[in-house]
Chain A
Amino acid sequence: MSLPDLLSAMRTLILDDAPPDGGLAARRACLHERFPDLTETEIADLANVPPERMGVYTNLVFAGERGMLRWIFPKSLEAVVRLKRIGGEARDEGDILYDLTRDLHRTRPWHNSSQRALAANFQSYALEHLRDLTDAWPGLVDLINFERTELDVFYALDFAGRAIDVAELAELSVGDLLAKPVARPPYIVPKRYTHDVLSIHETWHEDGALPDALPPANVCLTVCGRSPANLMPAWLRLDEQEFAAISAAPAGVFTDLNTLATAYIESAPPDTFADEAQAFEAFLIALARWAHAGVLYLGVE
């Protein structure tokens, strides 16, 4: 008896296809051919398992994984189903996604129990194996990235900084304020999407569904912070100046607030601000927005 061979055969039968339901003799013959290393006893034991019972596990594995994908990628999967329907797919949503999950597992086996690893698998699978859908609507690539980013921010380990208290900063002199060390946690990455996935996100929150029409290309600058109030992901739409300033804060490394202020003001188109005071005021308003969304953190003194 060899337990590794037996467990391996069970895995294969659960994930791939159970032996044909042609009676015991047919199952034994099939198992002999597929698993030549198993003993006669092991072949007999496996053949005695009715295919529908093995199928219970097949269904548990893939339905469970589909449920996890639905939790991580609700909007992306709805978009996948919609795009498949546009392409002529008529089956039930659950069946479409069940088959997609099986194909994902076959091409990108899940090597640990991490949800984040599953999310990464799905993202790379979509880029390679859902090309017909991403060609039909390139925003799907952004939407998958958007939802994976949200998951990463939700689960990321806490950053060794403290939330920015805007009222506290307002008490400081300009010099002291600009000398304050701030950092963008490593899990917070400004995003430049080719499609306005943030508007899709907002529609989803309001209506519980995707917009009636998947939006055409339209650049969307955004960042996902972690709200200090409830520690949940908080998306913020950015303009070019904000994008430049947040990008100027190196991930996970403290820098002074002056560096961000400079990046913010210098990235503004000419004549945006009447004078330095107005530019500084605009920066403070932006800083308050970033603080509220948990995009930047202060150094712990």
Chain B
Amino acid sequence: MSNTNYGLRRLGAGVGLRREHFDDIIDRQPDINWFEVIPENFIGRGGYCADALRKISANYPTVGHGVSLSIGSTDPLDVEHVRRVKQFCDEIGSPWFSDHLCFTMVDHVNLNDLIPLPFTREAVRNVAERVRVVRDILERPFLLENVTYYMTVSKSEMTEPQFIAEILESADCGLLLDVSNVLLNSKNHGFDPIAFIETIPLERVGQMHLAGFEKQGDMLLDTHAKPVSDDTWELFREVIKLTGPSSVLVEWDAELPSLDRLLQEAEMAQRLMDETVSHQTKVTG
């Protein structure tokens, strides 16, 4: 068991902060450990969203999670954007910051989606160099999230877990392990998710994601529109046996349910972590 959580505080289970839930959260102050916040939804904005975030971040731990850093792009890094993210993280007291291991923009054209990188050494060097700049500006730990991919552009030089491991080591950053993405990719591309988990440097895992996905044709799509699936919960249970509890975030972005329904998912994640710790304490105690 790695059990370091990359040196980061273990916040337990939380949920993604979405505009549709602002009023409910402010009015009811639900019992939840923390919220993950997408800076792009707040930077440069005032009014209702900014006011709600001020109120919520005053009462709950909030952690920034970006969607447009485009860390794998070959366009020049948008340093001004990173500086704005740093200021945002300072304002909400985000203890760390994460974004996705992918590119979202290239040739200065925004694709507005998480496009997978080729698993090549050149891509490793490119990402690692950019992560070092980002980390220095942010002045807080930086985590990269493994993404889903529906196509593999290049796997001749290394596999996905090797690609992730090389980047984390050479950039010296942490991993936001999206457990659902591992399971989804394993089903879409036919690999063993447990073997994947055992290959990546678990001591660098500082946060996790769980989300629902859907079958479309012969593929599973990462829609974030459904509850976390039973087999994802199973894999999550196996992962936390290896990593110990972490800061685990349930994502739900489309066909958003009520806050209570979302909180049930977080309760499930917390219960599994508590049970695993309790079981391991009994075994070792």
With the chains together, A63 CA to B44 CA distance in Å? 25
Partner of B46, one of A2, A10, A158: A158
Cα(A190)–Cα(B74), bound, Å: 43
Shortest distance from the beta carbon of A164 to any chain B beta carbon, whole Å: 17
Judge if A300 is at the interface, Cβ distance under 8 Å: no
Task: Give the distance in Å from the alpha carbon of A232 to the alpha carbon of B107 in the complex.
Answer: 36
Within 11-40 of A, Cβ neighbours of B (below 8 Å) are at: 11, 14-15
What's the nearest-Cβ distance from chain A to residue B87, in Å?
14
Query: In whole angstroms, how far apart are the Cα atoms of A61 and B102 in the complex?
Result: 14
- A236: chain B residues at CB < 8 Å are none
Q: Is the CB of B150 within 8 A of A57?
A: yes
Which residues of A are found within 8 Å of B126, using beta-carbon distances?
3
Q: Whole-angstrom distance from the CB of B76 to the nearest CB of chain A?
A: 11
Q: Is the CB of A113 within 8 A of B109?
A: no
Which B residues are in CB contact (< 8 Å) with A156? 45-47
Answer whether residue A155 sits at the interface, using C-beta atoms and an 8 A cutoff: yes
Main secondary structure of the interface of A (DSSP, over half): helix
Determine the distance from Cα of A111 to Cα of B48 in the docked complex, in whole angstroms: 26
Q: Which residues of B contact A42 (CB under 8 A)?
A: 154
Known A-B contacts A1-B122, A155-B47; A6 and B110 likewise in contact (beta carbons under 8 Å): no
* CB neighbors of A among B94-137 (8 A): 103-113, 115, 117-118, 120, 122-123, 126
- What band does the interface of chain A fall in when counting residues whose beta carbon is under 8 Å from B? 35 or more
Contact status B111-A46, CB under 8 Å: no
- Given contacts A3-B122, A112-B110, A113-B68, whether A154 and B151 have CB atoms under 8 Å apart is no
- Point out the residue from A7, A45, A50, A61 that lies within 8 Å of B112, measured CB to CB: A61
Listed from nearest, the 4 A-B pairs whose CB atoms lie closest are A158-B46, A4-B74, A53-B151, A231-B48
- Additional A-B contacts beyond A54-B151, A113-B105, A155-B45 (6; CB < 8 A): A6-B153, A6-B154, A8-B74, A56-B219, A57-B115, A231-B51
Residues on B lying within 8 angstroms of A by beta carbon are 40, 44-51, 67-68, 72-74, 103-113, 115, 117-118, 120, 122-123, 126, 150-154, 156, 219, 221
Interface residues of A (CB under 8 A from B): 1-4, 6-8, 10-11, 14-15, 41-42, 45-46, 49-50, 53-54, 56-57, 60-61, 64-65, 68, 109-114, 153-159, 226, 230-232
Write 20 A-B pairs (CB below 8 A) sorted by A numbering. Answer: A2-B122, A3-B74, A7-B106, A7-B117, A8-B74, A11-B106, A11-B109, A15-B111, A41-B154, A41-B156, A57-B113, A57-B151, A65-B112, A111-B109, A112-B105, A112-B110, A113-B105, A155-B46, A157-B45, A157-B46
